[in-house]
Every structure is written in C-alpha cells, then in structure tokens.
C-alpha cells in the first residue's frame, strides 16, 4: 500500500474527464483545474478507506462532478459534519451510523481537517472493502443535512 507521501500527482492531459479504472490500492492525487471536470470511477472499490484518492480542487460551482460509471447517481447525499474518531475507518463507520445511511446513498463527513465523500453500495452498513471513500478538498460546502446530489454527481 502506498503511503500519503507517495501519492502521485497526476498531470492533467484530459481536462474534462479524469477516469480511474479499478485499482483499489493505488492512491491518486487528482487535480481538475479550472472549468468543469468529471472525476470518473469505474466502481465503488476503486478508492477504499485504507488508501483513498484525494481530489485537490473539487468545485461544484465550476460544474465539477463525480461520475460512477455503470452505476446510477446516488439516491441522496447527506452531510453529517465532523466525526471525532481515532481512525478514518472508525470515522467512516460512525458517519454511516449517525446518518442511518441507506443503500446506494452518498455521504459527506469531516475527520480531522479533511472532508470525505463516501458512496454506499447496496448494503446499508459501512464496508471498508466495498464502499467508496474519497478525500475531497477545495470549495466543498458542507452544511449538515441533505445536500443536492446533482451538485456532486452527474
Ligand atoms: Ca474544476
Ligand atoms: Ca455498504
């Protein structure tokens, strides 16, 4: 597994579409740049809690969106705020529990100084080996409660 120091900065040749094939243990640092970008994931296992990708500049107001190839957009997006756990895996599980996150729904939560986006699979509880976890930075508004899923996914 790669450590955070070994995260690779991926040069952006395709401005519009950043696609990641299913490589769970490859931790990517992705930068979209200005304008509308698509961060495309082939499936939910492509970025898991033990080595989550980091999006450095997600900006919904620019039109940046996540796309889950071959999956419908999440049924809802819930923001649950700061989780005070010792590890990211515990924080993820807490966030799922606190929101009673449903199957196929998405979640925003903070842990430490970072914000994470998770997409649940068809099983309601959090699974470290099944449910997508991404670190997102940038202009991420995270009021507590239900957010517009179309502001994050396309
Ligand atoms: Ca952008
Ligand atoms: Ca799940």
Q: How many CB atoms lie within 10 A of CB 89?
A: 15
Sign, Cα dihedral of 98, 95, 19, 46: negative
CA of 129 to the centre of ligand 2 (A): 9
Classified as helix, coil or strand, 100 is coil
Cα angle 132-106-41, degrees, rounded to a multiple of 5: 40
Predicted TM-score of the model (pTM): 0.84
Ligand nearest to the CA of residue 95, numbered in listed order: 2
The pLDDT of residue 152? 94
Ligand nearest to the CA of residue 128, numbered in listed order: 2
Does residue 15 register a pLDDT over 80? no
pLDDT digits 0-9 by tens, 102-134: 999 999 999 998 999 999 999 999 999 999 999
Ligand nearest to the CA of residue 44, numbered in listed order: 2
Does residue 11 register a pLDDT over 70? no
């Amino acid at each position: 597994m790669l450590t955070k120091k070994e995260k690779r900065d991926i040069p952006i040749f395709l401005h519009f579409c950043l696609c990641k094939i299913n490589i769970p243990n490859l931790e990517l640092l992705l930068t979209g740049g200005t304008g509308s970008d698509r961060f495309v994931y082939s499936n939910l296992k492509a970025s898991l809690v033990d080595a989550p990708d980091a999006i450095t500049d997600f900006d919904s107001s620019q039109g940046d969106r996540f796309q889950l190839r071959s999956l419908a957009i999440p049924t809802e997006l819930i923001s649950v705020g700061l989780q005070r756990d010792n590890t990211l895996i515990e924080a993820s599980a807490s966030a799922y529990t606190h929101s009673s996150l449903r199957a196929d729904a998405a979640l925003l939560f903070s842990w430490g100084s970072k914000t994470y986006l998770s997409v649940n699979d068809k099983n309601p509880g959090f699974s470290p080996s099944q449910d997508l976890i991404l670190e997102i930075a940038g202009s991420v508004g995270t009021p507590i409660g239900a957010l517009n899923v179309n502001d994050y996914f396309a």
